[in-house]
């Protein structure tokens, strides 16, 4: 507690001196340019969690990725690392165990299972390698304790349950590894549910029989169910079948911009009526229609053909590729949504269902990020805008972390009741 209080007491004064005293371009100077010192001080008082960090994909890069070093989103595209977590005031979140969709065969299930297990182990290794900076979180009350100790909070989630195969007992295996949030599906229907964007249309009309077992098992263990990437019908069934409120961990609202990955007003109201939460996604195409120039599309295709599989590139060749890509980006800029577009969706959803049912899940390192908020160092801008719209510190406390922790506590309490 003393460490956290000391950090709070020093922040406001330190921020006032940032421009004069900080290293040019350093974290404090950058933060002071984004929002006023008073906003930074309030932002730092909040326990801030993002519910969908795809950063574990970087942890398993063949060339390596040092989470403790500051990277540049404009160069390597990465959006989350320890220096930027500190700069943007992100206290932690749910680090995703993502596996791409493949064939529904025993052999493919085994390959996907091994990929998911190795992804979880990479998250464990990150925390074990930097015990003064990160700590695995297993229960809802762990978040505040880890934050008070000055470490970053590491919950785990599963994005796409495909690696479980048809063995529902694998849910408990991942629970024992620390998973506390699970989504049935990703891009493409699988053995558990229909996806929101399968080109062939629905397979199950929502959840499959195995998907319904997944709901029961998650409830039994105390895992939050995540409807992002599920079809709207599957999301409704998750809401109806789950004994505890569900989450949309990185999702959007359909009324500001219609997209298959966004939810209708009716679905959002149903989610909120059952205590659920939507975490606002910052993936540009979910927020507005984006058309890339023909010149950029041609340049991207040429770059891809020239360099081939990036994972296969040796470090020095990868750096040469990044040099070329940055030059291409300067010559043919990417069309992006901007921060105002993101906040339009965010504010619309807040007005529709209220601050007890909305949070942040921007899809960092998984495609998220908008102009003006390209990485997590800019997160205080969200706090600044919400304050300007009249939301209180108590509202912000729920939006930034309280809502998802409420869902985790409800899941824990239900599981404990079943065990008695």
Same structural domain for residues 53 and 183? yes
Phi first, then psi: what are they for 373, rounded to 5°? -155, 70
End-to-end CA distance of the chain: 33
Same structural domain for residues 226 and 331? no
Final residue in a domain of this structure, among 278, 308, 335? 335
Same structural domain for residues 252 and 323? no
- Is 319 inside a domain boundary? yes
Same structural domain for residues 131 and 76? yes
- Is 328 inside a domain boundary? yes
Q: For residue 196, what are its two tokens?
A: 């929101």
- Rounded to two decimals, the pTM is 0.91
Same structural domain for residues 304 and 348? no
Cα separation, 368 vs 205, in Å, equals 29
- Is 35 inside a domain boundary? no
Same structural domain for residues 176 and 262? yes
Task: Report the length, in residues, of the chain.
Answer: 420
Phi first, then psi: what are they for 416, rounded to 5°? -65, -40
Same structural domain for residues 203 and 347? yes
Cα separation, 326 vs 334, in Å, equals 11
Q: How far is CA 48 from CA 15, 94, 143, 147, 379, in A?
A: 19, 11, 10, 10, 10
- Is 63 inside a domain boundary? yes
Cα separation, 46 vs 44, in Å, equals 5
Nearest to residue 360, comparing CAs of 346, 339, 340?
346
- Is 228 inside a domain boundary? yes
pLDDT of 30 reads 58
Same structural domain for residues 368 and 264? yes
Nearest to residue 248, comparing CAs of 185, 206, 340, 163?
185
- Note down the domain range covering 298: 294-335
Same structural domain for residues 327 and 414? no
Same structural domain for residues 184 and 298? no
Q: For residue 262, what are its two tokens?
A: 């966004």
Residue found under tokens 């990485």: 375
Question: Which residues does residue 263 pair with via DSSP β-bridges, in sequence order?
Answer: 253
- Is 262 inside a domain boundary? yes
pLDDT of 29 reads 47
CATH number of the domain that 209 lies in? Answer: 3.20.20.140
**Which residues are CB-neighbours of 35 under 8 A, at least 6 positions away?**
43, 380, 381, 383, 384
SS3 call for 364: strand
pLDDT of 17 reads 31
Residue 276's CB is within 10 A of a number of other CB atoms, namely: 25
Cα separation, 363 vs 74, in Å, equals 17
Strand residue runs (E) in 222-337: 224-225, 247-253, 262-263, 277-280
- Is 242 inside a domain boundary? yes
Residue found under tokens 């209220």: 354
Final residue in a domain of this structure, among 335, 354, 389? 335
Q: What is the mean pLDDT of the chain?
A: 92
Cα separation, 79 vs 374, in Å, equals 7
Domain count, the chain: 2
Final residue in a domain of this structure, among 335, 365, 388? 335
Q: For residue 127, what are its two tokens?
A: 């925390």
Same structural domain for residues 165 and 85? yes
SS3 call for 1: coil
CB 342 within 8 A of CB 280: yes
The DSSP letter of residue 246 is -
**Which residues are CB-neighbours of 132 under 8 A, at least 6 positions away?**
151
CB 128 within 8 A of CB 68: no
Q: For residue 83, what are its two tokens?
A: 């220096």
Same structural domain for residues 304 and 413? no
Nearest to residue 46, comparing CAs of 411, 417, 416, 400?
400
> Which residues of the chain have a pLDDT value below 50?
1-29
Nearest to residue 137, comparing CAs of 86, 92, 99, 197?
92
- Is 261 inside a domain boundary? yes
């Amino acid at each position: 507690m003393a460490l956290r209080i000391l950090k709070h007491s020093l922040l406001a004064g330190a921020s006032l001196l940032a421009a004069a005293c900080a290293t040019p371009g350093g974290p404090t100077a950058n933060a002071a340019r984004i929002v006023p010192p008073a906003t930074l001080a309030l932002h730092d008082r909040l326990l801030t969690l993002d519910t969908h960090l795809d950063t574990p994909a970087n942890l398993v890069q063949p060339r390596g990725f040092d989470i403790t070093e500051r990277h540049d989103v404009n160069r390597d595209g990465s959006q989350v690392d320890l220096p930027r977590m500190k700069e943007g005031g992100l206290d932690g979140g749910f680090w995703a165990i993502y596996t791409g969709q493949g064939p529904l065969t025993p052999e493919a299930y085994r390959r996907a299972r091994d990929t998911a297990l190795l992804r979880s182990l990479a998250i464990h290794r990150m925390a074990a390698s930097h015990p003064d900076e990160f700590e695995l979180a297993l229960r809802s009350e762990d978040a505040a304790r880890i934050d008070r100790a000055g470490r970053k909070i590491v919950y785990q989630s599963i994005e796409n349950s495909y690696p479980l195969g048809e063995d529902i007992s694998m849910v408990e295996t991942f629970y024992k590894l620390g998973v506390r949030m699970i989504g049935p599906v990703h891009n493409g229907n699988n053995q558990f549910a229909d996806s929101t964007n399968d080109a062939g249309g629905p397979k199950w009309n929502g959840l499959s029989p195995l998907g319904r077992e997944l709901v029961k098992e998650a409830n039994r263990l105390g895992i939050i169910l995540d409807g992002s990437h599920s079809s709207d019908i599957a999301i409704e069934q998750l809401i109806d079948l789950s004994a505890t409120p569900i989450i949309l961990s990185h999702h959007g609202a359909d009324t500001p911009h219609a997209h298959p990955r966004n939810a209708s007003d009716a679905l959002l109201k149903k989610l909120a009526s059952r205590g659920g939460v939507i975490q606002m996604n910052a993936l540009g195409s979910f927020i507005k229609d984006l058309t890339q120039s023909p010149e950029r599309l041609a340049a991207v295709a040429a770059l891809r053909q020239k360099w081939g599989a990036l994972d296969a590139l040796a470090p020095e060749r990868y750096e040469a590729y990044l040099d070329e890509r940055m030059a291409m980006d300067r010559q043919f800029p990417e069309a992006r949504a901007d921060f105002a577009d993101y906040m339009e969706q965010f504010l619309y959803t807040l007005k529709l269902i209220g601050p007890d049912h909305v949070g942040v899940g921007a899809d960092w390192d998984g495609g998220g990020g908008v102009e003006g908020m390209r990485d997590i160092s800019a997160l205080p801008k969200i706090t600044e805008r919400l304050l300007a719209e009249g939301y209180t510190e108590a509202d912000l406390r729920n939006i930034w972390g309280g809502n998802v922790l409420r869902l985790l506590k409800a899941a824990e309490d239900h599981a404990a009741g079943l065990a008695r």
